[in-house]
Chains A and B, each alone.
Chain A
Amino acid sequence: MINKKLVIIGGGSAGMASALEAYKQGVTDILILEKNDYLGGILNQCIHNGFGLHEFNEELTGPEFMSRFSKAVNDNHISYRLQSNVLGISKDKVVTYSNSYEGLVEVKAEAIILTTGCYERNAGAIQIAGDRPSGVYTAGQAQLYLNCYGYLVGKKVFILGSGDIGLIMARRMTLEGAKVLGVAELNPYSAGLNRNIVQCLQDFNIPLYLSHTVKEVKGKEGHLEKVVIAKVDEKFAFIPGTEVEFDVDTLLLSVGLIPNCDLLNNLPLSFSKTRGPVVSQDMETEIEGLFSAGNVLHVHDLVDYVVEEAREAANGAVKYLNGKLSHKGHIYDVKPGNGIGYVVPQKIYLEDANDKLVFKFRVAHPFKDINIFIKEGDNVVKKLFKPAIIPSEMEIVRVDKALFKGEAKEISVYVEERK
C-alpha cells in the first residue's frame, strides 16, 4: 500500500482544477487517477467554442480550455496515472485502482476528491417503445465518434431531448452533411441554453417540437428506419392523432445527464435530489476527508462553474488536511423549498464555513417575475428579484456568513411570484 496526502479520482476539468488549487495551497503530494489515456475528460470531444469566458475572459473551444489545465498539471509535475480504473473507495479512504503497467494498487489517502463527472441517460433508461434497431445513440456517443474519430453515425437524423449536447450535435452533423429533421422535447420549454437554440437550430432551420416525444422507433431489418413522435399533454400522456413519422437512419438521445457516483454505492453516504452525494459548504461528503465536485455532484451548465466548484472542494480538502475542519458548532440542513429543484450544498457547518456561503440551485420549472428567498428558519436572510428564470440555467447566490445567526436548524431556498 502506498500513501498519498490527496487522491483525486477523475482527470477531467474538475479533477485538474482541484489538483492545481490544492497544489497552489501547499498540498503537493497529489495523485490524479484517470481512466482514459488522456487528461481533460469530456472536453476533448467538445470541439465547439464557448468555454472559458469566466475563467480566462476569452472564448475557447473545449480542447483549448482543457489544454491550459493539463499544461499546468504537467508544468507543476503533479503526478497522475492514465488508463487507471478505480475499483473501489473504502470508508477509511483506501483507493484501489488498476492499470496495465502497475497492476492492482492500493493507495491510502488522507483526503480524496471525487471528480468522476456524469453519464448520459440512454435508450434503456427512457424505455422507448418499438423495435430495437441499431442507429440509436446518445448525443455524446455520436459526438465522440465524429469529433475524435471522424465517423458520422448517420445521414438522416432525429434528436430526442433538447439538452445542449443534442443541440450542438444537430449543428455539427448538419455541417458534416447530415440532414437533421427535428428535435423533440417532452417539456413545453427547452432543456438547453437559449444561445444553442438560436445558433444550432434556428441557423439551420431545424424545427424544435416542444411538448413532443418519441412514441415508437421502427426498424424491422435491424437498422433504424422511422421514428414516430407525438404531442403530449401536461401529464406527459400522448395525445392521440398528433403522431408525425420521420424517415431517419439515426436517433440521437439528449435526455439528461446523471452524476457518475457508482464508486460511492457501498459507502455509508446519503444522496441528494441531484443524485450526487450530500455535501457540506466545503463540498465534503458525510465521510470526513472525502470530497466531491463538478458534474458528479450536480450537472453544471458551464465548465467555468465546474472549475470554480472544484477549487472550493480543493480548498475544503486543504482545510481538512490542515486540521481546520472542526465539524463542530451550528449545523444547518439546506432544503429546496417552493419552486426549487435542488440546492447544493445540503449541509452547512457554520463554524467551518468561509466568509461567504455559496448556494447553487435550479428552479423546478420556468418562472417569470419572481423573488428568490434564502431563509434561516423563519427569518429571510436574502431576497433577490429575477425577471425570468429557467431550469437549464443554474443560479449561484453568495451570502455573507455574518448574516446567519446560527439558531434555526434549517436554511431553505424558495421562489415566490411577485404580486
Chain B
Amino acid sequence: MKELICITCPRGCHLKVDDNMNVTGNFCPRGAKYAVSELTHPVRTLTSTVKVDSKESPRCPVKSKDPLPKETIFKAMEEINKVTLSLPVHIGDIVIANICGTGVDIVATKNISK
C-alpha cells in the first residue's frame, strides 16, 4: 500500500494505492490516472520563460503542452534557455518542437505584440 497526494489539481486528494494498482481516496478519475503514472513513470508539466527580442516584453512564458517525464525536466530547461523569440508571439505558438525527443512541444502561453 502506497500513499500519495494528488497534484492534478489544487484539491490535493490523499490517494492510497494497493499492490494491484487499485486507487482509492481520489475525488475524480484523474486522481487514479495520476497515481498509476506517479508509481510507474512520473511526469510533470514544465513551465518557464524564454527570451524575447523586445525591450518592452523581454520574456515570454512557455509550457510543455503535455507533461514531460520527470527525468527530462532539467535537460528541457537547458534547451528552453537557448531560445530567443521574435515578435509577434501568440498563445500556442510552438517554441520548441519535440523537446528532448519526448514527442512533447514547448508552446508560448502569452500573446506579445510589442
Question: Which residue of A is nearest B12, CB measured?
Answer: A194
| Stretch of B16-24, B55-63, B94-102 at the chain-chain interface | B55-63
Is A198 in the interface zone, CB < 8 Å from B? Answer: yes
Q: Measured between C-beta atoms, what is the minimum distance from A72 to chain B in Å?
A: 14
A195→B61 contact, CB < 8 A: no
A61→B9 contact, CB < 8 A: no
Interface residues of A, CB < 8 Å — how many?
A: 29
Question: Could you say which residues of chain B place their CB within 8 Å of the CB of A176?
Answer: 48, 77
B59→A147 contact, CB < 8 A: yes
Which of B47, B74, B77 interacts with A47 by CB under 8 Å?
B47
Is B37 in the interface zone, CB < 8 Å from A? Answer: no
Contacts A67-B91, A175-B74, A193-B12 given: A147-B49 contact, CB under 8 Å? yes
Question: Could you say which residues of chain B place their CB within 8 Å of the CB of A197?
Answer: 5
Question: Could you say which residues of chain A place their CB within 8 Å of the CB of B5?
Answer: 194-195, 197-198
A203→B49 contact, CB < 8 A: no
- A149–B49 Cα distance when bound, in Å, is 10
Question: Could you say which residues of chain B place their CB within 8 Å of the CB of A195?
Answer: 5-10, 12
B109→A63 contact, CB < 8 A: yes
Question: Could you say which residues of chain B place their CB within 8 Å of the CB of A148?
Answer: 58-59
Question: Could you say which residues of chain A place their CB within 8 Å of the CB of B86?
Answer: none
B58→A149 contact, CB < 8 A: yes
Contacts A150-B59, A203-B44 given: A67-B9 contact, CB under 8 Å? no
Is A302 in the interface zone, CB < 8 Å from B? Answer: yes
B49→A47 contact, CB < 8 A: yes
Q: Measured between C-beta atoms, what is the minimum distance from A13 to chain B in Å?
A: 15
Interface residues of B, CB < 8 Å — how many?
A: 27
Is B70 in the interface zone, CB < 8 Å from A? Answer: yes
A64→B91 contact, CB < 8 A: yes
Is B73 in the interface zone, CB < 8 Å from A? Answer: yes
Q: Measured between C-beta atoms, what is the minimum distance from A346 to chain B in Å?
A: 26
Those of A170-206 within 8 Å (CB) of chain B: 175-176, 193-195, 197-199, 203
Those of B54-80 within 8 Å (CB) of chain A: 58-59, 61, 63, 70, 73-74, 77
- A176–B48 Cα distance when bound, in Å, is 9
Those of A341-390 within 8 Å (CB) of chain B: 388
Those of B1-56 within 8 Å (CB) of chain A: 5-10, 12, 14, 44-49, 51
Interface centre among B5, B58, B70, B74 (most CB of A within 10 A): B5
Q: Measured between C-beta atoms, what is the minimum distance from A93 to chain B in Å?
A: 35
- A199–B5 Cα distance when bound, in Å, is 10
Which of A61, A146, A199 interacts with B63 by CB under 8 Å?
A61
B58→A150 contact, CB < 8 A: yes
Q: Measured between C-beta atoms, what is the minimum distance from B14 to chain A in Å?
A: 8
- A179–B48 Cα distance when bound, in Å, is 17
- A199–B68 Cα distance when bound, in Å, is 13
Question: Could you say which residues of chain A place their CB within 8 Å of the CB of B59?
Answer: 147-150
B109→A61 contact, CB < 8 A: yes
- A395–B9 Cα distance when bound, in Å, is 16
Contacts A67-B111, A175-B48 given: A50-B10 contact, CB under 8 Å? yes
Is A49 in the interface zone, CB < 8 Å from B? Answer: yes
Q: Measured between C-beta atoms, what is the minimum distance from A144 to chain B in Å?
A: 11
- A302–B12 Cα distance when bound, in Å, is 13
Is A104 in the interface zone, CB < 8 Å from B? Answer: no
Question: Could you say which residues of chain B place their CB within 8 Å of the CB of A175?
Answer: 46, 48, 73-74, 77
- A230–B69 Cα distance when bound, in Å, is 37
Digit string of A40-63 for contact with B (CB within 8 Å is 1, else 0)? 000000011110010000011111
- A67–B89 Cα distance when bound, in Å, is 13
A49→B7 contact, CB < 8 A: no
- A81–B45 Cα distance when bound, in Å, is 35
Digit string of A20-52 for contact with B (CB within 8 Å is 1, else 0)? 000000000000000000000000000111100
Q: Report which B residues bind A (CB closer than 8 A).
A: 5-10, 12, 14, 44-49, 51, 58-59, 61, 63, 70, 73-74, 77, 91, 109-111
* Pairs of residues from A and B, 4 with the lowest C-beta to C-beta distance, nearest first: A194-B12, A47-B61, A195-B7, A63-B110
Q: Can you show 14 pairs from A to B with CB atoms below 8 A apart?
A: A47-B48, A49-B45, A60-B109, A61-B47, A61-B109, A64-B109, A150-B49, A175-B73, A194-B5, A195-B9, A195-B10, A203-B70, A301-B10, A302-B10
16 further A-B contacts with Cβ under 8 Å, apart from A47-B49, A49-B45, are A49-B63, A50-B10, A67-B110, A147-B49, A147-B61, A149-B58, A150-B49, A175-B46, A175-B74, A194-B12, A195-B7, A198-B5, A199-B7, A203-B44, A302-B10, A388-B14
